[in-house]
Amino acid sequence: MNQPVRGQRISVEVNGERHERDVEARRLLVHFLRDDLDLTGTHVGCDTGNCGACTVILEGVAIKSCMLLAVQADGRSVETVEGLAPDGELHPLQEAFSSFHALQCGYCTPGMLMSAKHLLDHNPEPTEGEIRRAIQGNICRCTGYVNIVEAIASAAKGGGR
C-alpha cells in the first residue's frame, strides 16, 4: 500500500532510454524533461494548458506536459521532439516543415511536430480538415497555419510537393 509522499524516485522511459531521478511530487513533467533531463526541445509556452508548445507523447498519446506531474509518468514511456531525429537525421515531418517553411519563430514547432506525429501514427492519410483539428491544441502566432497544414499533408504522402 502506498502512502502519500512529497517526492519519490521515478523511472521514466524517454525516447527509448530509461531515466531515474528523485523528483518532488509537485514537479511538472515539462520541467522534469527540460531541467532534469536537459531535453529542452519541449517548450513551456502559456503554462496554462492552452498553447500546446509542451506537447509530448505519453504511452502513444499526445498530451500537454505542463498538465501532468512528473511522478505520474513513473513507469511510463514518453516521446519528445528529440526522439524524432535520434541520430541527427530528420524525421519526414521535420523535413516537410523545413521544405514548406512551416515555421517562423519556431517556438511552437516541437509541440506542433508531436501533435502531427500523433495524428499520422493514428491516421496515416488525414484530410485537411482532420489535420486542422489535430493541431487545434497547438497555437502558432507567426505562420497562419497554412504552411504547417501543407507540411503535415506532404509528410503523410511521403514528402515532396
- Binding residues for other proteins, per CB under 8 A? 1-6, 8, 24-28, 31, 47-49, 52, 55, 61-64, 66-69, 71-72, 74, 115, 118-119, 133-134, 136-138
Closer residue to other proteins (CB): 26 or 157: 26
**Do 108 and 54 touch, CB atoms closer than 8 A?**
no
Closer residue to other proteins (CB): 17 or 59: 59
The tally of CA atoms less than 13 A away on the side-chain side of residue 53 is: 17
Task: Output Rg (C-alpha) for the chain, integer angstroms.
Answer: 16
Q: How far is the CB of 71 from other proteins (least distance, A)?
A: 5
Q: How far is the CB of 160 from other proteins (least distance, A)?
A: 26
Strand, coil or helix: 111: helix
Q: How far is CA 78 from the centre of its chain?
A: 9
Residue 24's DSSP bridge partners are 7
Closer residue to other proteins (CB): 62 or 78: 62
**Do 135 and 112 touch, CB atoms closer than 8 A?**
yes
Q: How far is the CB of 89 from other proteins (least distance, A)?
A: 27
CA–CA distance, 134 with 129 (Å, rounded to integer): 9
Residue 56's DSSP bridge partners are 63
Closer residue to other proteins (CB): 52 or 83: 52
Q: How far is the CB of 87 from other proteins (least distance, A)?
A: 28
- Site of grid cell 484530410: 127
Closer residue to other proteins (CB): 72 or 99: 72
